[in-house]
Structures are given as C-alpha cells and as structure tokens.
Amino acid sequence: MPFDFSAARIKIKGARDHIEHFRKRTSPLDPLLYSIELVEKPSDPPRNPRLSYALTYRPKDQPIPETLANIIGDALGNLRSALDYVGSRIAPNDKKIFFPVAPRPDLPSHSSLPACEAALPGFKDLLLNKIRPENGPDEPLWDLVGKANNDNKHVDFIPTIAALEIRNINARFPRGYQKLLCGRQRS
C-alpha cells in the first residue's frame, strides 16, 4: 500500500517558503526593517565648534530579531508538522504516534518507534543508522526541530543582529542645497 505524504509535502513547501523569505529579509538585511540616520553628535573635543555627525542604525517598527524569530519559528513548525504527518501515515491506526524526534541518546527508546517499526519493518534501522546516525553532521538541525513546539518556536530561536555607529561623518551638500539636520538648517 503506497503512503500518502501529500500533507507532509505541503508542510515542507511551507518550510521552504519561510526559509526563502528569511533569506530575502536577511541577505542583505531588508531596509524596511531599519533606518540609518545622520545624527548630530557632540564634537570631540567639546571645545571644537565644528558639528559632528554619526550614522546611526535604528529598527523601524519592531525589533529585528523578533521579526526574524517569527519566520524561523514558522519554518521549524512546518518541518516538525511534516515529520508528524509522515509518522501518522506510517502507522495510521495509532492516533498517538508522532515522528520520532528526540535528542539522539533518547531516540532508541522513543515511544513512537515501536509503532513505526511494526507498521514499516526496517524503519528503526533506517532512522537510527541512516537518517540520524550517532554524531551525524545534521544533529544540530535535528535538535532544533526536536525542541520546536507551539509554545517556544517563536521565542527560543531569536537571531542576533549586530549594529554599529559610524562617527565623525564628513557630509557635504551641493551648493545652494538646504538640508535639515537634527533641527539645524545647513547650506
């Protein structure tokens, strides 16, 4: 009997779409998420009458890490759902089955593993030796998918965004051009 994995495929497509959305928002960082402003700063040393400016980064509507965490959480949630759909198709008569996702040391004793093995002989060997071998290179990704649930998928996976300030900018404006900088008129 062939397995119907159409629901899992839909979830995988959703995860891919979220990953692509994440890439588009981060490489380069989407300018809709932040602004870079020319800000007047006290001159160094303070006795110097010249104006000093700095380029300053500011998030626009909400903090960028939380915005990106939502995309990451949605991708992880879709991956986890796809795996659970696969588990439910392998053993369709067992309503409590989930795809065995656990820390690698706990995987051989996962509660869903016997039902999957009974419905699909060889599944346990495939999972433990081919899909998730001991110290496999994909183990960090499996750990993320295994930890993701509806309570934490948007808050536990928050990326770090670094910003810096560039000081003492030498800004020149075309002759006759009026520019309003930090409340001062400058020509």
19 vs 38 pLDDT, higher one: 19
Closest CA to 100 of 78, 70, 124, 120: 124
* Mean pLDDT confidence for 159-168: 66
d(CA 98, CA 90): 10
pLDDT bracket for residue 181 (50, 70, 90)? very low
pLDDT for 125 equals 96
Residue 177 has pLDDT above 50, yes or no: no
pLDDT for 8 equals 94
pLDDT bracket for residue 122 (50, 70, 90)? very high
pLDDT for 179 equals 41
pLDDT for 55 equals 75
Tell me: the pLDDT tens digits for 127-162?
Answer: 999 999 888 898 888 888 887 777 777 777 777 776
Token representation of residue 84: 């659970």
Question: CB of 54 within 8 A of CB of 164?
Answer: no
Domain borders along the chain are 6-186
* Mean pLDDT confidence for 39-54: 67
